[in-house]
Structures are given as C-alpha cells and as structure tokens.
Structure 1
Amino acid sequence: MQIEVRTGDILAFEGDAIILPTLSDGSMQEGIAAAVREIVGGEVEEQVRAHAPIAVGAAFVTEAPGLGVRHLIHVPLIEESGMRVGIENIRRATRAGLLGATRLGLDSVAIPGIGYGETGVPHDEAARAIVDEAMAYRGPHPTSVVLVDQDERMVAAFDLQTQEVKR
C-alpha cells in the first residue's frame, strides 16, 4: 500500500473515499463530520443515524454527494460527545475504515488526523496509531492512502511516523 502525507483540506481530496470520524450515534455535528454535513446535506447523516448505534471498530459507508469522492466511510471514535479518545479507538477506527474500503474494492482513500485535540491524544500518538494500522493492513484494497490534515503539527507527526516506518 502506498502512503502519502498532504497538508490541506480533506474535503478537497479527489479519490474513492474519505474515512470520516463520527460518533456511535451517527451524528455529524462536530469537527470534520460537521463540515462534511454542510456539503453533503442532512440526508447522509440521517442514513447513518438510521443504523446507529455503530460500534467503535465498525464502519458504515454512504455516498458523498458534492465531494470529490464517491463514498464516506463513517468510523465512530467514541460513543458520545465529550468522551476521551484513546489510542485503541483510533486504531480500531482506522482499521474499520480500511476494511470498509476493501469491502467496496476502493483504491484511494483519505484519512484525516483523528483522535487528537482537546479530548484526544497527542498528535504523535494519533499519527503513530493511524500509520501503524495502515502499514499493517494487508487487504487488497485500498492501494493508496493519503493522510491529510490542515493542522501543521498533525501533518508533521504523519511525516515523522511514515519516515520511521520506512527505516
């Protein structure tokens, strides 16, 4: 699997899918999910919520109208807003997103920095968990993973982790 790191808005990514962190109840009210909801509309959120609760470590796939990708792979990080995000949840969400891409035969997916911030873990630990899961994944798809974030510290952490894996 090819892994690339980019600085930028994940919503500008053009490919097969974006792995989108959400809550187990399927709500798209916070972070990147809220920005996605503004573009794709409330119907996508309604689809996800209709299948809730979605376990941490599971994924639910929807279409992505209005974005440069065909699909959104919704991966819950926590059960409810305000809960602390742990490393294992980041790993499980990343793995679930990659499995979702395999199930649909998707080649190119984008993953944002997930699980870092006020209720999360340090940038370097989040990046390590995401990169480790991507590098360890052995499914036939995706063939390309793009790690995208606007946060300079997260991008630097992604760069560092991908370089360490190559050594």
Structure 2
Amino acid sequence: MGKLQLICDDVLTLEADALVCPAHKHLIRGRGLSEQIFERAGEALVSECSQLPECPVGEARITAAPDLFVNHLIHTVTPQWSSGDQWGAEALVQLRRCYESVLGLAREHGLQRLLFPALGAGTNRFPHEIAAHQGLDVLNKARGDFEVLTVCLHSQSALGTWQQVRERFL
C-alpha cells in the first residue's frame, strides 16, 4: 500500500515525479502557488501551456516542470468556494474531480510520487476542514496505486487541521 503523508514545508523545494499546480482555466499565471510556479518555471512553462486546450474546473493537464525540483506539473482548475450556498454541493463534487483528474493523469504517465497543495484552500477560499475531507478521501482510496502521495501545507495551523480531519474520518 502506498504512503499518504501530510507535511508542512515549501512545496517548491521538494522533489517528486509531479507537483500539482492550482490553475487558471487558460493555463496562465494565476495567483498564490500558481504565480510562484510560473515565476520559477519561466517562459518555457508559459509557452508549453499556451499550446494546451482550456482546462475546465475539475479537469487536469500535464506539462514539464522547467527549473523546479519535480519532473512534471499537473495543472488542475479548482472551484471557488461559495460559502456553502446553493452551489456548495457542486463545488465539493468539482473539488473531488480535481483530485481524481490529477490521479488519472499521473497513472497514465506512470508517475508514482506526487506533491499536492491544499487544493481549493488557497485563493479559492475553501475552509481547510472541507478541503481536507474531500482531498484526503480521494487520495486515501487511490494510495495503493502510488508510491507516495504528499499533501504539503503552507502552515502548521493548516497541517494540524488536515491531521485532525485524517484522524477523524480515515
């Protein structure tokens, strides 16, 4: 059975087969982690992304990862959290689909070691408790297909929340 780990670190300094990049649907420089990735990867990433078709919410695309410590980037467009209003259920389904799409691409490309940020919990404002529950459920079910799936959180507080969700629900 593969390993599912939760850590707090700078995801851009870690080695893996692929890093998951929260993406804009046109695969252009976004905000937050996306902006940092594009800053490091430079024009080569911009050029490769411009050749790919638009990426709707919940889908994923794969590119090389120039000037990063990973071999590939898997871009996925996460939904916006709408504070649990009438669109909240759809956003949960879309967030799960992000993880599933990423894992599907990783399987297709034979990638075994994946780095995930807290998808949706950054600039798209999903509460960490909700993002963790959705992400960990999908990742835990798929971990047997991979060597290691790592969720890298940006703060000790976020890490604590994800650990609590893992202990409670998995």
TM-score for the superposition, normalised by structure 2: 0.85
Question: How far apart in 2 are the matches of 1:49 and 1:157?
Answer: 36
Structure-2 separation of matches of 1:84 and 1:122: 8
1:150 & 1:76 partners in 2: Cα distance?
19
- State which drifts further: 37-46 or 83-92: 83-92
Say yes or no: does 1:29 pair with 2:30.
Answer: yes
The residue number in structure 1 matching 2:165 is 161
Which residue matches 2:75?
74
Aligned-partner Cα distance in 2 for 1:57–1:84: 13
Aligned residue for 1:58?
59
Shift of residue 24 of structure 1? 1.1
Q: Contact 1:75–1:97 at 8 Å: present in 2 too?
A: yes
Query: Does the alignment pair 1:108 with 2:113?
Result: yes
> What is the letter of the counterpart of residue 154 of structure 2?
Q
Distance in 2, Cα, partners of 1:71 & 1:19: 9
Q: Percent identity between the aligned chains?
A: 23
Count, aligned residues: 161
Counterpart of 1:146?
150
Q: Distance in 2 between matches of 1:72 and 1:37?
A: 11
Query: Aligned AA for 1:150?
Result: H
**What are the ranges of 5 or more consecutive residues in structure 2 without an aligned counterpart?**
83-90
The 2-side partners of 1:113 and 1:127 are apart by 7
**Gap regions ≥5 residues in structure 1:** none
- Hey, what's the Cα distance between the residues in 2 that align with 1:137 and 1:94? 10
